[in-house]
Amino acid sequence: MNMQATPPQGVKPPPPPKTLEDMQLPLTMMRDILLKTIFRKSLSMASELARAICLPVAVTQELIDAARGERLLEATGTLNANNSGNEMGYQLTDQGKSRALDALAQSEYYGAMPVPLDVYREQVKRQSIRDISITRDQLTNAMGHLILPPDLLGNLGPAVSSGRSILMYGPPGNGKSSISNGIRDAMGDKIFVPRALEYSGQVITVYDPIVHSAAEEETDDPNSLRRRRTFDARYVRCERPTVITGGELSLNMLDLVYNPTARTYQAPLQLKSTGGIFIVDDLGRQAEPPQSLVNRWIVPLEESKDILALQSGEKFEVPFDTLVIFSTNFHPNEIFDQAALRRIFYKIKIDGPSQQNFLKIFALVARKKGMPLDEPTLIHLLKKRYPEIENNYANYQPVFLIDQMISICEFEGIPYQMSPELIDRAWANMFVKDEEIVR
């Protein structure tokens, strides 16, 4: 029986290892992770251990036999009838407990066997963000809740399908963040994210339930020892990841994070987003200058690889396979030099809506929130209020104005309604007058 439903065609899954040699990991490292897992989780059956270290039972049994050969494990001499096949139990010898404690002192990592970095590179190629093909229909369906200019999707589609970097700029409140999320939603396929990677004997944890959404848990049949995996269980099958950062983004968040207690590393944000999207929202609001942030991305964007460093100072390359979306309210020429702009492949301006689209958005929001439309009020809004701001419409304004009127109606205990008086009260809260405050 399969441990998991066969993935849909499109992304080729990582094949499960058949032997210890297939693992391409140091035998000592695998043995120590096995011993630490037994010690920390008090497991004894090969099938339980296989699930814990995410390996096929046959490969796990090979590892158990190797540890027994070193007198680190011993059979308990009892069969567990609750498991299929009356499995033999195993336990740590005194020597095995000592080795497990020594190994834990070196690194607290136990559980899923890591995937060697070189092996992961091959899986990145199988599921590259640059191999996806987004159609107009997919993008339209993903952004169906947004009222957008007709030519915007025509500009976004090729940019997304290229898997290269995108800069979206324009005045605030016009849906740059919503469009970024729509791009993410248009990617309907799933990829395989490693639970952890191994490089130079170090473990780097990658899978993060916060970043890697809608992950599917393994299902297993405890009554079958001869089950066959459809893909390597050291990976989790999930939606293409999306990392969204804003004003909090700093350069050190793009480095490996070392945990001195566990003596393991955590992957930086851009490595967690491999095969997916990295959204830098509100560019220009970070403590780091925008130019510095983009300079950090130059090598990854141009060469599809990133350079990380271990605590020892040793540097190494990791795949960079991410669609980077920069979103800013500033004009690009204000925050970048021309060399940096050349390295961002697509620049797309997101303007405010036309008056016609503004009215469409206003009507859509009103209907959704149960607010009846009133033609005199809309005429008052368009003829009296908007000329005050030179008819600069923004996508956020209908939601703001309608929510304000709803709050007033609820406070006054009257049915939802709009009137010139209510729209004026709502309008007063949308802007702050530029006036001197006497202290």
> Which of 330, 349, 368 is where one domain is finished?
349
Cβ–Cβ under 8 Å, residues 340 and 294: yes
Of 162-171, 193-202, 311-320, the range with the lowest mean pLDDT is: 162-171
Of 29-38, 153-162, 172-181, 262-271, the range with the lowest mean pLDDT is: 172-181
Count of domains forming the chain: 3
Q: What is the mean pLDDT of residues 304-322?
A: 95
- Residue 37 banded pLDDT, cuts 50, 70, 90: very high
pLDDT tens digits, one per residue of 49-100: 999 999 999 999 999 999 999 999 999 866 655 555 567 899 999 999 999 9
CATH number where 400 lies: 1.10.8
Of 189-203, 216-230, 239-253, the range with the lowest mean pLDDT is: 216-230
pLDDT for residue 11? 84
What CA dihedral angle connects 20, 25, 27 and 33, to 10 degrees? -100
> Which of 310, 327, 349 is where one domain is finished?
349
pLDDT for residue 436? 65
100, 153: one domain: no
> Which of 349, 372, 402 is where one domain is finished?
349
pLDDT for residue 402? 96
Give the residue, 434 or 423, on which the prediction is more confident. 423
Of 149-153, 168-172, 333-337, the range with the lowest mean pLDDT is: 149-153
Rounded to whole angstroms, how far apart are CA atoms 88 and 76?
7
Residue 241, CA distances (Å) to 8, 30, 69, 406 in order:
18, 28, 42, 37
What is the SS3 assignment for 1?
Answer: coil
436 in a domain, yes or no? no
Determine the structural domain holding residue 47 and report its residue range.
Answer: 26-112
CATH number where 218 lies: 3.40.50.300
The residue whose two tokens read 């916060």 is 210
- Report which secondary-structure segment, H or E, holds 266: strand 264-266
- Residue 221 banded pLDDT, cuts 50, 70, 90: very low
pLDDT for residue 164? 83
Q: What is the mean pLDDT of residues 315-344?
A: 89
77, 135: one domain: no
Q: Output the average pLDDT for the chain.
A: 87
271, 418: one domain: no
223 in a domain, yes or no? yes
- Residue 438 banded pLDDT, cuts 50, 70, 90: low
Q: What is the mean pLDDT of residues 284-298?
A: 87
- pLDDT > 70 fraction of the chain, expressed in percent and rounded: 90
Residue 45 DSSP one-character state: B
